[in-house]
Chain A
Amino acid sequence: MLKVENLTKTYRSGQDVLTVLRGVDLSVAGGESVALTGESGSGKSTLLHLIAGLDDADSGEVNIGEVRVSGLSDIGRAKLRRLQLGLVFQQFNLVPSLNVADNLALQARLADRHDAGWQAELVERLGLGETLKRYPEQLSGGQQQRVAIGRALAAKPELLLADEPTGNLDEATADEVLGLTRELVTRSGCGFLMVTHSMRLAGMLDRQVHLHAGRIA
């Protein structure tokens, strides 16, 4: 599913050079959920962004299924995000001018994979039935994040990438949202890689990988 090999990334700002990743190897199998933990600045989010094709690595390789991410053009990366990946961020990133139903269907429609049955199931499992006509600003943080997770899974991705998806939620809501996510990931059979600070939440997933000083500890 996901295979990361010897990935390195360095940021330069004038004279300053900051090496964030120093040869990272990582893999996630289909149906597996993995927590990526580490201190602030350890390179967790950078690794996630490189996997998603949102940024370029200096060296090393990222393969998702049969696709080698580092060799893709902008259009190729867009296609990868559209068809093979689901992205969930801490800030929810919903479209404020679309209601919940349209936000949920957004990526599936862009991927031409809209499946009314699957979306109805997502709505039911995520408990969003009462909110379909509402707009993001009318939802609580937990509800917004559930919409974001539903949107990411609606297109049936091979890999769900989440960057601190519960960072804006209280503990109980975070547990509930993560529980739902795991359940849906298992149901859809996709891989799941989540960046988190919380060891407690990390413990809820199949496997934990700790990043320290740019290397997998």
Chain B
Amino acid sequence: MKRALWILAVLLSHWRTHPMQFVTLLVGLVAATALWSGVQALNQQARASYDRAAAIFGGARTAVLIDPAHATFPQQIFVDLRRAGWPVSPMLEDRVQVGGRAFRLLGIEPVTLPPETATVATVGKNDLPAFIAPPGQTLVAPETLADLGVGEGAAPTTGDGVALPPLKLQPQLAPGVLVMDIGMAQRVLNKPGQISRLLVGRQSQGARKPLASIADDRLQLVAPDAESDLARLTDSFHLNLTAFGLLSFLVGLFIVNSAIGLAFEQRLPTLRTLRACGASSRMLNSVLVIELVSIALAAGLIGLIGGYLIAAALLPDVAASLRGLYGARIPGQLTLNPQWWFAGLAMSIIGALVAAVTNLIKVARMPVLAAAKPYAWRETQQRALRLQGLVALMMFAAAGAFLWFGDSLISGFVVLAALLLGAALGLPMILDVALGLGSVRARGPLANWFWADSRQQLPGLSLALMALLLALAVNVGVGTMVQSFSTTFLRWLDGRLAADVYLNATNDAQAAEIKTWLGRRSDIDAVLPSGRAEVQIGGAPVEIIGLADHATYRERWPLLQALPSVWDRLREGDAALVSEQLARRLKLDLGSRLQVTTPAGPWPLRVIGIYADYGNPKGQFAVNVDALIRHFPDLPQTRFGLRVASAHIAAVIDGLRKTFDLDSRQLADQATVKSESKRIFNRTFAVTTALNAFTLGVAGIALLTSLLTLSNSRLPQLAPLWAIGLTRRQLAVIELVKTMAVALLTALLALPLGLAVAWCLIAVVNVKAFGWRLPFQVFPMQLIALLGVAMLAALVATLLPVLKLAWMQPARLIRIFADER
């Protein structure tokens, strides 16, 4: 034990004399752990929220009975089913406006709730009399209480003027949900005797009568699912985040590998001395592992704190993305469980050991007497290079196979991973061939040395160059996708937001008054009535929007495909334009038939067009507004758009606001809605952009550390050139040119690879994840800018070792030339 401690003290003394190297090692481990654990923290936070949501809705994890044709059904069916032995519990659900914000109101019946809906069960049963007896309770999560801006015990009123039961805090609840007794919910929602669904418990109360004998064909049993709807829906988003986290982790490990490699290289003489002084190989390796694990633990802890900070910083954007893309609500406060901390530390330790494994094996096999050859462990082995090239080809083949045969989101990510890994593994071989070609054309001794030395330097730099290639390719890929999306999105917004002013009256009476008021004004070009209803198709909610027959839509609506005379056909009322994601989900094509159940009876529709509806988590289709109102006679006719000459928009809005006391949620001009949409869009991709920047930064550090590593071990290669007449400045310039040339070559290879990644994201991953496909576009200026950033990063990374060389004291070069050759 004492001996091990002495060996550890000797090993640790190395870091005292090489503090920068220690910092580099820590930076690598901290960056890797921080980025990985940060992403995991976000995923964990989101998943915990989905579980809360799933538990409170009692939906996906509990079997339910629903009426596929109607939003609600009579409570009497519940009574009949209970009498028939069905362990059912009623639930009423709808959205309510409170204080200008929309909340999901959930009415439950706590006595009959199945025990497996644990959260709900504890909610109702904790204080059953207070929950059921008037005035009752409205249970809310802390986040909801904050959203409402009132304290516990308050009884806020809904937009319809109905007072809620007093609020009571319930930390297990999901945000944005109001839970109360079903009787009170029926009163608040004005749906007496109605329920939305019946939760079906697992515990059977003896023999059940068949469902059809009690409810005819009205109800449909939906089986429970182990995974919540939100968890399934958002899998792609989290997979995306995880992929980014893993990439950053790998790039961080490149730094660790480089720093550990340098440390091992510089400590080889010390290790030999320790062996000569009687330390056994086993003891030495054990202590090296202990040292590494200790450093990884310390760095892991710092990394976890960094990861927490990264997650906390990104959480608002992630929450915005998840809300925007999937309608999922994530609390803004980060809470982490012990597993996260342990997993982060384990990743740091495992990562450090993986990065050091080849060096540890070399030390284990190191003979005491081997001459100190700092370069020996890095010497290129053509066989290894060929093997690496072969694995790269296999990776490309795997990518092709998954692209061809795969039909899932996972297979999309496998294509991406195989493509990137294949390119990274093939990079050293490609660069070796390129530099070999250069050496064939070289004239003169210095040029010969230049190419030969560049090839010799390649193995030491290859890991950093791989990191640069991966980071750049992912940056190009994600950048191209985001830019494609941005361009398409702006064009799409112009089409979707065709009206100049959007208006939503408080009720039909006010809508009629507004229409009369508008009719009297000469500055209104057109009033475009619209409507919005919701139906269930295939067990999922689908929006129907009504469009007026007007040139505004004919000219601008973002149709992707359409039958001839599409707008004339739409006017007839038996046709629909379907959103791209709904078309993909229901496998609808032009000419397909769609059956919709409406209050006025079944409504058969023919699909005559497919339009882009980016970012909408719900499926949607558009019909003629008059036809919509015919089939949904109770639909409030309060929404309309106005066409107004731009010079008069401000006056019209001002007039409407003053005359009808409309607030900003009811009245908005196109420019405001557009800028809000763009803001949401930008937020959606803020996380991606941030992680992108992190990855590129980490790749830059990897390059810097590799170059610093090489700069020390390369001095014996450079000292003879200095001794035979080259100046230090000339040597520095040659080093600079050489590294920049290799970095440029890598960056140029990253561009086509990045475009392939972008294509894969757009054509495979996005389609599977979101249900829509963007047009693939190339943005040359963006590529040039990224190339510039990469070269700048390489220049900064190269400059430090090069300046060190340029300013090196001749005495040191003399010593190196004399002693270390």
Partner among A54, A82, A96 whose Cβ is within 8 Å of the Cβ of B277: A82
Q: Is B13 located at the chain interface by the 8 A CB criterion? A: yes
Q: Is B14 located at the chain interface by the 8 A CB criterion? A: yes
Q: What's the minimum C-beta distance from A104 to chain B, rounded to whole angstroms? A: 12
A141 to B112, CA, bound (A): 90
Contact A78 B10 (CB under 8 A): no
In the complex, the chain B residue whose C-beta lies closest to that of A81 is B278
Q: Across the interface, which residues of B come within 8 angstroms of A87, CB to CB?
A: 276-277
A106 to B18, CA, bound (A): 20
Contact B276 A83 (CB under 8 A): no
What are the interface flags for A89-100 relative to B under an 8 Å C-beta threshold, 1 for contact and 0 otherwise?
100011111100
Q: Across the interface, which residues of A come within 8 angstroms of B367, CB to CB?
A: 54-55
User: Once A and B bind, how many residue pairs between them come within 8 Å at the CB atom?
Assistant: 80
What are the interface flags for A59-90 relative to B under an 8 Å C-beta threshold, 1 for contact and 0 otherwise?
00000000000000011011111110101010
Q: Across the interface, which residues of B come within 8 angstroms of A102, CB to CB?
A: 10, 13
Q: Across the interface, which residues of A come within 8 angstroms of B369, CB to CB?
A: 49, 54-55
Known: A54-B369, A93-B269. A81 touches B14 (CB 8 A): no
CB within 8 Å of A: which of B248-288? Answer: 269-270, 272-283
Q: Is A115 located at the chain interface by the 8 A CB criterion? A: no
B interface: dominant SS = helix
Q: Is B441 located at the chain interface by the 8 A CB criterion? A: no
Q: Across the interface, which residues of A come within 8 angstroms of B537, CB to CB?
A: none
Q: What's the minimum C-beta distance from B269 to chain A, rounded to whole angstroms? A: 7
Contact B278 A110 (CB under 8 A): yes
Contact A109 B6 (CB under 8 A): yes
Contact B273 A78 (CB under 8 A): no
How many chain A residues touch the partner (CB < 8 A)?
Answer: 30
Contact B13 A98 (CB under 8 A): yes
Known: A93-B272, A110-B7. A81 touches B277 (CB 8 A): yes
Q: Is A111 located at the chain interface by the 8 A CB criterion? A: yes
A78 to B274, CA, bound (A): 10
Q: Across the interface, which residues of B come within 8 angstroms of A110, CB to CB?
A: 3, 6-7, 274, 277-279
Q: Is B383 located at the chain interface by the 8 A CB criterion? A: no
CB within 8 Å of B: which of A143-157? Answer: 151
In the complex, the chain A residue whose C-beta lies closest to that of B283 is A78
Known: A110-B3, A110-B6, A112-B2. A97 touches B17 (CB 8 A): yes
CB within 8 Å of B: which of A135-191? Answer: 135, 151
Partner among B13, B17, B279 whose Cβ is within 8 Å of the Cβ of A78: B279
Q: Across the interface, which residues of A come within 8 angstroms of B398, CB to CB?
A: none
CB within 8 Å of A: which of B426-480? Answer: none
A97 to B12, CA, bound (A): 9
Q: Across the interface, which residues of B come within 8 angstroms of A33, CB to CB?
A: none
Q: Is B16 located at the chain interface by the 8 A CB criterion? A: yes
What are the interface flags for B782-813 relative to A under an 8 Å C-beta threshold, 1 for contact and 0 otherwise?
00000000000000000000000000000000
Residue of B2, B10, B275, B281 ringed by the most chain A CB atoms within 10 A: B10
Q: What's the minimum C-beta distance from A164 to chain B, rounded to whole angstroms? A: 14
Contact A97 B13 (CB under 8 A): yes
Q: Is B368 located at the chain interface by the 8 A CB criterion? A: yes
Contact A96 B270 (CB under 8 A): yes
Q: Across the interface, which residues of A come within 8 angstroms of B273, CB to CB?
A: 93-95, 106
Q: Across the interface, which residues of A come within 8 angstroms of B281, CB to CB?
A: 74, 78
Contact B10 A82 (CB under 8 A): no
Q: Across the interface, which residues of A come within 8 angstroms of B269, CB to CB?
A: 93, 96
In the complex, the chain B residue whose C-beta lies closest to that of A88 is B276
CB within 8 Å of A: which of B1-42? Answer: 2-3, 6-7, 10, 13-14, 16-18
Q: What's the minimum C-beta distance from A205 to chain B, rounded to whole angstroms? A: 22
Contact A107 B280 (CB under 8 A): no
Q: Across the interface, which residues of B come within 8 angstroms of A89, CB to CB?
A: 276
Q: What's the minimum C-beta distance from B203 to chain A, rounded to whole angstroms? A: 65
Contact A112 B3 (CB under 8 A): yes
Partner among A54, A79, A107, A135 whose Cβ is within 8 Å of the Cβ of B368: A54
A-B contacts, 24 of them at CB < 8 A, read A49-B369, A54-B368, A55-B367, A74-B280, A74-B282, A77-B280, A78-B275, A79-B280, A81-B275, A82-B277, A83-B278, A95-B270, A96-B269, A96-B270, A97-B13, A97-B14, A98-B13, A102-B13, A106-B273, A106-B274, A106-B277, A109-B2, A109-B6, A110-B274
10 cross-chain pairs, A with B, having the tightest CB-CB distances, nearest first: A82-B278, A78-B280, A97-B13, A107-B277, A81-B278, A97-B17, A93-B273, A75-B280, A109-B6, A97-B14
Question: 5 more A-B contacts (CB under 8 A) besides A81-B277, A109-B6?
Answer: A82-B277, A102-B10, A110-B279, A112-B3, A151-B277
Q: Which chain A residues have a beta carbon within 8 Å of chain B's beta carbons?
A: 49, 54-55, 74-75, 77-83, 85, 87, 89, 93-98, 102, 106-107, 109-112, 135, 151
